[in-house]
Amino acid sequence: MQPSAIGLFLIAGLASLFMSWVIGAGSSGATPFAPAVGANAISTMRAAFVVGILGFAGAVVQGANVSETIGGGLVGGVRLPAAAVIVVLLIGAGLMAIGIKTGYPIATAFTVTGSVVGVGLALGGTPVWSKYLQIGAVWALTPFVGGGLAYGIASVLPREDVPERYSVPLLAGTVVAVLANVEFASLGPNGTSGSFVELSQRTLGTDGAAVSLLVSVVLAVAIAVLVSWDVRRDETGGLRRVLLSLGSLVAFSAGGSQVGLAVGPLLPLLADLELVPVIAVLTGGGLGILAGSWTGAPRMIKSLAQDYSALGPRRSIAALVPSFLIAQLAVLLGVPVSFNEIVVSAIIGSGAAVGGSDAVSARKIGVTVGAWVGSFVVAFVLGYGSVALFPLL
């Protein structure tokens, strides 16, 4: 490798690290615990500390799918050179930094995806329409599905004819059943990815759909019984513990989804360097997210927790359940998804269920949606235009 190429590679690595920091300070670090902070279940600074650790863990064990999509699944026929990778990451991080500075949640997934597609197409790549349709469907449906589920859950939890000693454990059991089937790094045979259900099957020496269902149900029932006992014993404390547990799962999922936006563009550059495994790249990205969460996330956490909805613990639980489910679906599909979009939509849905239109800021929502759409368009134009203006990229 020539000295100039090594220099560009190092700059690309630093740009990736900066992008990881921005993600931790913005969407990944702020949104998972914003509902919990809004419900006064945890302080802003403590939330930033915890979400950093969990985001790092999620990045390491669940970050591969989205990283591969960003690295080579968005544009066909080309491999981004180091200079183009630098441009992609600087565009994404720059737009995110603007969002952090102004307090408005710019969508990380939109900025990075837009810049990668813009640069790739300008370099002569071909569109991957099937992936675009999949990504577009997830992006378009997230506000309706996430907000709708949050609205429905928030509408049920306060009802006197649905006691919380039943409804909250049911939600907790559902989340655990999904979590049991989620794939994590190194849980599969020979160090491959696998789920807790698959691990249980290998341990028991059995397999099949019936066994998977049985293991999922047993785990779900066990957690539901535990949560039911906790809520009966101490309703306020039990709801708080459920809320913090859900926030932790969402923070973990955020790391697994968002790290790919920072390190994914590097993967093509590392393809020829067999001594640098993907897990090392994910670890570096996770450390950047951790640093960003600890140093820059409190501002965004406060903005989301206070400006979008006056949340209590029940509405916060209603917001976090669909956030976790959508985040894990995106990780499974390898779709880059915005945690701002996921959690903000759920916050709006849960707030509207109880407080109606007075529970949310219409102006703030309008500006946020405009920022989501505009961030993709601006990133695409900047990416495409950068190659057109500087053909050496």
**CA-to-CA distance for 191 and 207, rounded, in angstroms?**
19
**pLDDT score at 270:** 76
Alpha-carbon separation of residue 58 from 90, 182, 183, 292 (angstroms): 24, 12, 11, 15
**pLDDT score at 326:** 94
**pLDDT score at 362:** 67
Q: Is residue 100 part of a domain?
A: yes
Q: pLDDT below 50 — which residues of the chain?
A: 308-309
Q: Could you tell me the residue range of the domain that residue 69 belongs to?
A: 3-157+253-323+334-389
Nearest to 270 by CA among 2, 4, 17, 13: 13
**pLDDT score at 177:** 93
Q: Is residue 47 part of a domain?
A: yes
The phi, psi pair for 127, rounded to 5°, reads: -65, 145
The structure's pTM equals 0.87
Q: Is residue 168 part of a domain?
A: no
**CA-to-CA distance for 219 and 286, rounded, in angstroms?**
29
Q: Is residue 384 part of a domain?
A: yes
**pLDDT score at 306:** 65
Q: Is residue 199 part of a domain?
A: no
Q: Is residue 342 part of a domain?
A: yes
Q: Is residue 194 part of a domain?
A: no
**Tally of structural domains, the chain:** 1
**pLDDT score at 309:** 47
**pLDDT score at 142:** 92
Q: Is residue 91 part of a domain?
A: yes
Are 73 and 264 in contact by the 8 Å Cβ rule? The answer is no
